A and B are shown apart, each in its own frame.
Chain A
């Protein structure tokens, strides 16, 4: 469903993604982890046709992301980390707009908007401008816009941003059900607990290259750590975090302004 062969992206002299090779079959939830600036979002942007790879190839749903960009885009849903949307529109107007961009029939769009707003508890706010919404409410609209056209492959970059515990739980269950129905989910996040519980496979990227790929248990065995957090720290060379934090907390409490 998703295949990357030596995918590379360089900006000026900096290589953000360096010869990443990966294959994710249909129906799998794949967690894609990495520290800040590791190349997660750049990878997703190349797979969603927002960035052109410098080298290598990638195919999504059987279509090449460079040569059949529009075919790829028709089959994917994407929840961007930025959560950007046109805030002067109402959820109904925005979702109707998105549905039309995917050439959905207006009646179907209407029905789907009603279903999504009902599921996300947005029914009472469907005709209010989103500039008045909380971050969580906006995030629900962003997720709705990603799933409205029933995509085969879903890219999610920190999808739980701003959601309350109940909404987050609903989304996690939804993702699991969608995967059970055969959808492929590419899940980028920093929340390791969620990734550990949700993803059957975890890929860790550091400085643009893949440093680990396997199930959570496989990674634990490989690194001899008992949690995904420990695995992550070990593979991204951040094991001295505790010592650093202890030293810095003394700086904070010892400062005059504190």
Chain B
């Protein structure tokens, strides 16, 4: 009997596999609804992701066509798509490999671990295929415009790019599942959260290398002989493309063979990790959670004397109970909710990378004396983009939670102004996430530009952050922490960011004018302060109206 059990555990049940895969794919393509039932999502997050990636890749490839050589074009597009796939898989890891619902829904069904995780892996490959299509299909066609590109380039590039992206995804799966095999259960989730933060930071950081390399390569023209390039995985796959289109160099067969070998090895390692003992590990992980829930001693440790008053600044700025509730809840979630932390902290990777690059290269420029975008020294100042990006994204992250259903309290509570709740949320994001970052920026700038220019610059950023938060709340349609996390949702947030990006372009204009006349700083502040204040007011009123209407349509309140 035991032998039968072991055989059953090792064999893939193909009927179950098909059922699992079909359901996973169906759910990938379906939208979802948060607690605010009026918010019917017609386009699924996966479609949004694909639209976002397609737009980005079209922009990148269109920019490269006039200046790049065939190899350089292939290499840069592959680098971009592989980094984006790694980023996407890391960002969506909890929904790609570990689905939090699966334990409760399928833990007691007769599915062996190999069948279950084969289906999960195939679902991930499907997801990467979709993302790769969005990332590489248009560049494959647009690449025909590159001088000297053979006409059958798209036919070769697209499948190679897909293999390259699958390899990138397999790498992430191998690293994560490998860690899952060796980590102590009780520490795994926290470790995973911190690892994800570091990993995301590194991805963001290394992502900065691509445009830098692009500039250098374009200047170098055809003479790309740097030996270190041979260590970059996208170059291995680009070499494969070159060979297949008949433009192979002497080194390309070796590089292409490396690509094939690494791809096979990573697939083997990732699949092996996933299929053996992984289910048991997850089950134990879940049981550890059960134990924690039931441990009265642990629960006792969590009870602290109630904090009834906020510290001075939030107490001054939050004048209503709803605002104080929003503020305290957001601060608590930022401190304690693992998945909120995992969403928030990696966002800091890119601006830190820019600051680090600027400091390393010693080209941090003072926009008041040296201009904003002159010469090479733009890294330090481009941080302004990330203030805008961070504030917007941080706000949107705060709409999601694992315990999203608990947000019923916002519908049940007699909230006269839901906008106040969002105000508290924004204040928490501002004080707890943006202000420390701005303080760090001030120190970096003060050491380079002196405290006055540093202070003026940081104040400009502070205004920008405020405006960005107000714009984000203007577009909000759900209560804080009221939406379930679904694969691709975060990318949709980025797509929405693109829509308001032109406004950001106007603001950049002001920064560039600072060198012409520092008085433009005053003009900027004179426009920014009322704009941010006005946007805040409009957002609050809009949210009040929106949620009152939603409550009315749901019949939750009598007077409509």
A102 → B minimal CB distance (Å): 7
Bound-complex Cα distance A88 to B487 (A): 13
Bound-complex Cα distance A51 to B279 (A): 11
Contact status of A102 and B290, CB under 8 A, knowing A67-B1, A67-B2, A131-B33: no
Bound-complex Cα distance A98 to B106 (A): 9
Contact status of A14 and B294, CB under 8 A, knowing A49-B107, A52-B287, A73-B108: yes
- Asked if A33 is at the interface of the complex by the 8 Å CB criterion, the answer is no
Contact status of A50 and B107, CB under 8 A, knowing A14-B295, A67-B1, A86-B23: yes
- Asked if B8 is at the interface of the complex by the 8 Å CB criterion, the answer is yes
Per-position 1/0 for B269-309, Cβ under 8 A of A: 00000000000100110111011101111000000000000
Q: Contact check, A82 vs B30: say whether CB atoms are below 8 A apart.
A: no
- Asked if B123 is at the interface of the complex by the 8 Å CB criterion, the answer is no
Bound-complex Cα distance A10 to B296 (A): 14
Q: Contact check, B112 vs A70: say whether CB atoms are below 8 A apart.
A: yes
Contact status of A11 and B294, CB under 8 A, knowing A86-B101, A93-B23: yes
Contacts of A193 in B (CB 8 A): none
Task: Please name the residue on chain B nearest to A99 by beta carbon.
Answer: B19
- Asked if A124 is at the interface of the complex by the 8 Å CB criterion, the answer is no
- Asked if A84 is at the interface of the complex by the 8 Å CB criterion, the answer is yes
A58 → B minimal CB distance (Å): 14
Q: Which of A71, A97, A98, A129 sits near B5, CB closer than 8 Å?
A: A71
Bound-complex Cα distance A249 to B22 (A): 53
Bound-complex Cα distance A13 to B110 (A): 31
Q: DSSP majority for the B interface?
A: helix
Given A50-B108, A103-B13, 19 additional A-B pairs, CB 8 A: A11-B294, A16-B290, A16-B294, A50-B107, A50-B286, A67-B2, A68-B1, A68-B2, A73-B110, A82-B104, A86-B101, A87-B32, A88-B30, A88-B31, A88-B32, A97-B19, A101-B19, A101-B20, A103-B16
Q: Contact check, A37 vs B296: say whether CB atoms are below 8 A apart.
A: yes
Bound-complex Cα distance A87 to B404 (A): 14
Q: Which of B4, B105, B291 sits near A16, CB closer than 8 Å?
A: B291
Per-position 1/0 for A202-218, Cβ under 8 A of B: 00000000000000000
Q: Contact check, A101 vs B16: say whether CB atoms are below 8 A apart.
A: yes
Task: Please name the residue on chain A nearest to B284 by beta carbon.
Answer: A52
- Asked if B249 is at the interface of the complex by the 8 Å CB criterion, the answer is no
Q: Contact check, B284 vs A89: say whether CB atoms are below 8 A apart.
A: no
- Asked if A128 is at the interface of the complex by the 8 Å CB criterion, the answer is no
Q: 11 pairs across A/B with beta carbons < 8 Å?
A: A12-B291, A52-B284, A52-B287, A63-B1, A69-B9, A80-B108, A85-B105, A86-B101, A97-B22, A101-B19, A101-B20
Per-position 1/0 for B96-120, Cβ under 8 A of A: 0000010111111111100000000
Task: Please name the residue on chain A nearest to B30 by beta carbon.
Answer: A88
Tell me how many residue pairs across A and B have CB atoms closer than 8 Å. 120
- Asked if B187 is at the interface of the complex by the 8 Å CB criterion, the answer is no
- Asked if B183 is at the interface of the complex by the 8 Å CB criterion, the answer is no
Bound-complex Cα distance A78 to B32 (A): 26
Q: Contact check, B107 vs A48: say whether CB atoms are below 8 A apart.
A: yes
- Asked if A42 is at the interface of the complex by the 8 Å CB criterion, the answer is yes
Contacts of B104 in A (CB 8 A): 80, 82, 84
B40 → A minimal CB distance (Å): 10
The count of residues in chain B whose C-beta lies closer than 8 Å to any C-beta of chain A is 45
Bound-complex Cα distance A45 to B5 (A): 19
- Asked if B155 is at the interface of the complex by the 8 Å CB criterion, the answer is no
Bound-complex Cα distance A74 to B111 (A): 9
Contact status of A70 and B110, CB under 8 A, knowing A16-B294, A86-B23, A86-B105: yes
Contacts of A67 in B (CB 8 A): 1-2, 5
The count of residues in chain A whose C-beta lies closer than 8 Å to any C-beta of chain B is 43
- Asked if A20 is at the interface of the complex by the 8 Å CB criterion, the answer is no
Contacts of B5 in A (CB 8 A): 67-71
Chain A 195-254 interface residues, beta-carbon cutoff 8 Å to B: none
Per-position 1/0 for A52-83, Cβ under 8 A of B: 10000000000100011111011010101010
- Asked if A190 is at the interface of the complex by the 8 Å CB criterion, the answer is no
Q: Contact check, A103 vs B30: say whether CB atoms are below 8 A apart.
A: no
A135 → B minimal CB distance (Å): 11
- Asked if A173 is at the interface of the complex by the 8 Å CB criterion, the answer is no
Q: Which of A51, A82, A88 sits near B27, CB closer than 8 Å?
A: A88
Give the 9 A-B CB pairs with smallest separation, nearest first: A11-B291, A100-B19, A84-B104, A73-B110, A50-B107, A48-B108, A88-B30, A74-B110, A78-B108
Contacts of B20 in A (CB 8 A): 97, 101
Bound-complex Cα distance A13 to B294 (A): 11
A116 → B minimal CB distance (Å): 17
Bound-complex Cα distance A10 to B295 (A): 10
Per-position 1/0 for B214-251, Cβ under 8 A of A: 00000000000000000000000000000000000000
Q: Contact check, B291 vs A102: say whether CB atoms are below 8 A apart.
A: no
Bound-complex Cα distance A50 to B282 (A): 10
Contacts of B287 in A (CB 8 A): 9, 11, 45, 51-52
Task: Please name the residue on chain A nearest to B37 by beta carbon.
Answer: A132
Task: Please name the residue on chain B nearest to A9 by beta carbon.
Answer: B287
Q: Contact check, B9 vs A70: say whether CB atoms are below 8 A apart.
A: yes
Task: Please name the residue on chain A nearest to B32 by beta carbon.
Answer: A88
Q: Which of B33, B111, B290, B292 sits near A101, CB closer than 8 Å?
A: B111
Contact status of A73 and B1, CB under 8 A, knowing A11-B288, A16-B294, A93-B23: no
Contact status of A89 and B112, CB under 8 A, knowing A16-B290, A49-B107, A101-B19: no
Q: Which among A52, A71, A84 has the greatest number of chain B C-beta atoms within 10 A?
A: A84
Chain A 1-58 interface residues, beta-carbon cutoff 8 Å to B: 9-14, 16, 37, 41-42, 45, 48-52
Chain A 167-211 interface residues, beta-carbon cutoff 8 Å to B: none
Bound-complex Cα distance A30 to B459 (A): 69
Contacts of B286 in A (CB 8 A): 50
Bound-complex Cα distance A242 to B286 (A): 37
Q: Which among B30, B108, B296, B297 has the greatest number of chain A C-beta atoms within 10 A?
A: B108
B285 → A minimal CB distance (Å): 11
A45 → B minimal CB distance (Å): 8
A151 → B minimal CB distance (Å): 10
Task: Please name the residue on chain A nearest to B115 by beta carbon.
Answer: A101
- Asked if B416 is at the interface of the complex by the 8 Å CB criterion, the answer is no
Chain B 291-336 interface residues, beta-carbon cutoff 8 Å to A: 291-292, 294-297
B485 → A minimal CB distance (Å): 13
Bound-complex Cα distance A141 to B292 (A): 30
Bound-complex Cα distance A11 to B292 (A): 7
Contacts of B30 in A (CB 8 A): 88, 129
Contacts of A103 in B (CB 8 A): 13, 15-16
